[in-house]
Amino acid sequence: MKRILVIVVAAVAATAIFVGLVHAVLVAAHASEPAASTVSGLTVRRLWATAAAVLALVGVVVGGLALVRPVSRFGTASGPRGAILALVVGLIAAVNGGLNLALATGGPGTGNGVVGGAAAVVLGLISVAIGGLALTRSRPTPLEARRMT
């Protein structure tokens, strides 16, 4: 019972931190003011932002797998390949999210995809951080490198 409670509290805390970071990115990009008239439906900019956010989420998952299983022979998280993939995908997603925010002419609800762009920036940076951590952990120590030769 305690373990489930800890997992739920950690998930709520992670969600609150994520929402706070997305809001901070929106404030920094001067796109935090809601629109006077909202646009419903999928627009090209919303699709671009959503694709960047999904790409960043894939980078976070692959980086997490590379971090948890650095020596796995199966899957996308095998050794440094998963970490490098998380780094590259996270960087691409963060740049696309930043470009979306830079080109946006309004705040949330305008159809410009500013919320998705901010989410892509935050998740992309998280993916880069996790991928970098996994990459440093997947390298052999000097003692292990000497044993391999």
Tell me the per-residue pLDDT of 114-137, one tens digit each, with 9 for 90 and over.
889 999 999 999 999 999 998 887
Cβ-contact 25, 121 below 8 angstroms: yes
Whether 145 has a pLDDT exceeding 60, the answer reads: no
Cβ-contact 97, 59 below 8 angstroms: no
State the pTM of this model: 0.79
Q: In this predicted model, what pLDDT tens digit does every residue of 90-120 receive, in sequence order?
A: 999 999 999 998 888 877 878 788 889 999 9
Q: State residue 76's pLDDT score.
A: 45
Sign of CA dihedral 76, 118, 20, 137: positive
Q: In this predicted model, what pLDDT tens digit does every residue of 46-90 receive, in sequence order?
A: 899 999 999 999 999 998 888 887 555 545 445 688 889 999 999
Whether 43 has a pLDDT exceeding 90, the answer reads: no
Q: State residue 4's pLDDT score.
A: 84
Q: State residue 141's pLDDT score.
A: 59
When comparing pLDDT for 70 and 2, which is higher? 2
Q: State residue 121's pLDDT score.
A: 93
Task: Tell me the two tokens of residue 110.
Answer: 């305008």
Q: How far apart are CA 71 and CA 140, in angstroms?
A: 11
